[in-house]
Amino acid sequence: MNSYQADRLVVLYQQMADLTAPECANTCKCPHTCCDEFACQMTREIAKERYGVTLEEYPPNSRGAFYLGDKGCTVAPYLRPHCTMHTCEISSMGFKRGDPKWTKSYFKLREKIERLEAIKDAEIQV
C-alpha cells in the first residue's frame, strides 16, 4: 500500500464516520450502549497490529468499554473500523429504513474502504 492509498483509507474512514455518527446521534435512545469491552478490545488489537498504535485507555463504562471520553469515542475512525461502519439498522436489516440515498452512499463508501483494506491485508500477510 503506497502512502497515497494509506492516506486515502484514513479519509474514507472519516467520511464513513461522518455518515454513521449522525445515525446514532439523531436516533439512539441510549448513546454508546453498543460500546462494550469486546468491541474496545478489537479496536486495541487492530490499532496495535495493523498500525502499531497504542491507544490511551479511559475508565470503563458499565459495559466495560474503555475508549470513551466525555465526548464519546476517543479513537480515530480508521483505527476502529467495526465501530465506524456500524449502525443498528445496517447490522440488523442491511439498509437504512426510508432512505435509499443514505444506504447507497454507505455501501459505495464501504466498497472503497474494503478495496483498500484488501491491499493492506495482502501486505500484512506477506
DSSP collapsed to 3 states, 78-100: HHCHHHHCCCHHHHHCCCCCCCH
Examine residue 12 and tell whether it contacts ligand SF4 (CB under 6 A).
no
Examine residue 80 and tell whether it contacts ligand SF4 (CB under 6 A).
yes
SS3 at position 50 = helix
Query: H or E segment at 72?
Result: strand 72-73
The Cα 117–Cα 124 span in angstroms is 10
Residue 28 vs 119, nearer CB to ligand SF4: 28
Q: Which stretch binds ligand SF4 (CB under 6 A): 10-18, 37-45, 92-100, 112-120?
A: 37-45
Examine residue 6 and tell whether it contacts ligand SF4 (CB under 6 A).
no
The Cα 70–Cα 51 span in angstroms is 25
Examine residue 35 and tell whether it contacts ligand SF4 (CB under 6 A).
yes
Nearest to 112 by CA among 20, 22, 11, 19: 11
Examine residue 90 and tell whether it contacts ligand SF4 (CB under 6 A).
no
The Cα 98–Cα 80 span in angstroms is 27
Examine residue 24 and tell whether it contacts ligand SF4 (CB under 6 A).
yes
* In contact, 6 and 117? CB cutoff 8 Å: no
Among 46, 68, 109, 113, binds ligand SF4 (CB under 6 A): 68
Among 7, 11, 22, 28, binds ligand SF4 (CB under 6 A): 28
Residues in contact with ligand SF4 by CB under 6 A are 24, 27-28, 31-35, 39-40, 43, 65, 67-68, 73, 75, 80, 83, 86-88
